[in-house]
Chain A
Amino acid sequence: MKFIYFFIRRLLYSILVLVGLSVLIFIIARILPGDPARLALGPFASQEMVARLRHQMGMDQPLHLQYVAYVRGIFHGDLGLSFQTRRSVSLDIAHYLPATFELVLVAIIWVLIIGVPFGVLAGRYKDSWLDNISRVVAFVGVAVPPFVVGLIGQLIFSYGLGILPTTGRLSLLTPMPPARTGLLILDSLIAGNFSAFGDALIHILLPSLAIAMTGIGQITRLTRGSVSDVLGKDYIEAARAFGIPNRYVTFKYMLKPSFIPPLTILGLTFASELGNAFLVEQVFSWPGMAKYGIQAILRKDFNAIMGVILIIGLAFVAVNFIVDVLAGYVDPRIRIQEES
């Protein structure tokens, strides 16, 4: 299959998943909970007030028209009003999203710079002490809940040793750098404010590691398995038999094919990190979208819940699309598989 066809196919497929997701979210939020208007106004509001709000929200219309209105709203960036903050949900999300994005981004970087090299070395030197450590890291990483990593990390490094801050994105005394990207690490660099940069870094260290633990474990194991698979292939043996230097075999023949399996699950890793953010932001009072989402859930603020979930689904579908297309670009075999 030509790459361009492959690309279009994946794009159409992603759009299909998004449409399905919007229906699913709509069903969860509009049909399951009963009456959002009643929930918003509380038990003491009169029947008349509830009816008026229902009309304002368009909830007296048939369901399919409500869905159309909902989708039209999404395209206009209108996700409704939050009962909790009395602001538009899109504004709220725009306000809270960068903090979560920064956290997950740093976590992905951890996964890539710890998990991948560690997996390559463990696969290359199978059954060595390094491989055994990688096994322990993988099992522990997957078995410890992220909030436990966060709490125990706080206990040791913040309360015990006193070298890392407990909560928040910046110390109270550090002035916020002017917002450009919303990512404090980048903003402080752009402003040339290195003390804020350092402060932001030590604040993000523990929470991002807590989020990354699961991913580090998974990617390490997967990379290890795929490296050891590739090393057992005939063409590697042939290359060795030809007397091609070991270093050359490693970098030229081994690495590229063994990166493909970890690359394809990077989308899933990203999703699980977004999920972990819901737990970790709570532990570290990280002012992000996940914490906002939890507040919305506890207070039954349905527009906000739908908005947060939609954004997460959107991010996941987008990341998976990019990852799939990349994998298809690097590895023609994936394109052929898609054809059948």
Chain B
Amino acid sequence: MSAVPQALADLKVLEFGGYAAGPHIGKVLANYGARTIHVESRERPDGFRIQYPPFKDNRPGYNRSGCFAFFNDSKYSVTVDLKKREGIALAHRMAQWCDLIIENMRAGVMERLGLGFATLAELNPRLIMLSTCNMGQTGPRADQPGFGSQLSALAGLCGLTGMPDGPPMLLYGPYIDYIASIFGASAAMAAVIRSRRSGKGALIDLSQYESGLMFMGAALHDFFATGHLAERCGNDDPDAVPHGAHQCSDGEWVALSCWSEEEFGALVQLIGHPELVRDPRFATAASRRSNANALDALVSAWTAGRSAEAVAESLQVVGLAAYPVVTMAGLFRDPQLFARGQFRVRRHPEMGDHAYCFPGFDLTEAPGDIIGPAPCVGADNAFVFRDLIGLSEDEYEAYRQSGVFD
């Protein structure tokens, strides 16, 4: 890690909730130095700790989940029983300590717990609270629970994935939650910047559904403007042809696209068919689109004799966009991702060495990092409550004996 203090070294963040959409915001901020505390309880730990594989060595356990690890590296974990009056009192103390609260419970739950924004803002007028849930805090379906893996379908993303004559396709995991969470990181930072400049707090209502629609903005604009109904079309593109994935000699696939006459000329030269630029089937972009299957067959015949890496490299040399379709194992071998340090191994007390994923951006002069592994449940109770929140020994012991934490 750089000797330069990280960009968010003085930012204090508290998270209530679990799974993906809330914790991923905190993870991103933690990677740039924010002190981020993930609040759980022994009775109800983050669902990602126990409900979904992968688990280290395929053995489930609170501290063995790769799913939880993905969303929670570089944070502290505390356990607070929010069903106890004393637990709420401790949460109020924590709210006075922090700059930002991120919560992704169902709409209204924080208020019912006594942790609504109005209550906490009285204790900390500079407080930012970001509330993120499926539908947002208002509206006729505000109370609808949901997971991102399904919300991606409601937002139209799954319906636009797959072949025209086949079913919709799943986007892996809670895809839409990552859109909302990276939007949430921006909204939270904007509010924190204003808070530091003006002393004003803010309540941010972030709908994961609406966030996902921002990635559908063009299709929606087109529908409003023309009535055109976007449909899934495999890998086709309205401008580029060829534009698709082709299997190679090593069984891997390569993605490539051709955006101009010049690029098409370079492609057919490379694949050994320079005469195709004069072939009436392929002489113009329109004719190439009409004969796309025949053209794809010619390209596939060429890629079938070479590895995906070799195909991509040779296409790039002649000025075409191309890249192997990187598999999950391939992510760890990809030279470009390796050079960026995309995956960074940190040692977890129970999982051992594990590769954590870094965000897609970095600050050149104050770089971020995977500060540490995902925390074991409640591992930081003593440090957080005593050293960060500032409980006295008597207060700490009183909370512990009341069963707020162990």
Q: Are A and B interaction partners?
A: no
